């Protein structure tokens, strides 16, 4: 299977070295395993427990509405986080150039 997939990817990505194609396949397989584990084992964690049922009765919310509210918060958080990480990543090249212009030993900074 790995040989056929490597040949197919090498045809699509002819400029990629073999090690990069193999790494892409390995990372894709790891992602597939992670998604499968998430699909089969997450549902039990998201079921209502007796303690949660008591809290839900007090707040007059359903489990599904709390889960939807949490997922909305999660996506808001991740979108802001990704924008900040992208900005930091883009700033890195400029900081490198700035440090070089002042003759700073960059290896001593980190």
Give one DSSP letter per residue of 7-26, joined into a string. Answer: HHHHHH-TTS-HHHHHHHHH
Range with the lowest mean pLDDT among 2-6, 15-19, 37-41, 87-91?
Answer: 2-6
Task: Please say whether the dihedral angle defined by the alpha carbons of residues 51, 52, 56 and 57, taken in this order, is positive or negative.
Answer: negative
Quote the pLDDT of residue 38. Answer: 80
CB of 21 within 8 A of CB of 6?
yes
CA dist 42 and 108 (Å) reads 44
Return the minimum-mean-pLDDT range out of 11-15, 33-37, 44-48, 87-91.
44-48
Kindly indicate the confidence band of residue 26, based on its pLDDT and cuts at 50, 70 and 90. Answer: very high
For 24, residues 6+ apart whose C-beta sits below 8 A from its C-beta are 9, 16
Per-residue pLDDT, 46: 62
Percent of the chain with pLDDT over 90: 24
């Amino acid at each position: 299977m790995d040989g056929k997939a490597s040949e197919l990817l090498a045809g699509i990505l002819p400029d990629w070295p073999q090690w990069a194609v193999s790494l892409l396949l390995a990372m894709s397989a790891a992602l597939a395993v992670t998604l499968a584990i998430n699909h089969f084992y997450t549902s039990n964690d998201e079921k209502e427990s007796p303690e949660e049922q008591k809290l839900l009765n007090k707040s007059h919310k359903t489990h599904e509405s709390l889960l939807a509210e949490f997922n909305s918060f999660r996506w808001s958080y991740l979108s802001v986080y990704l924008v900040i990480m992208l900005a930091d990543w883009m700033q890195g090249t400029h900081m490198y150039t700035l440090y070089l212009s002042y003759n700073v030993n960059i290896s001593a900074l980190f």
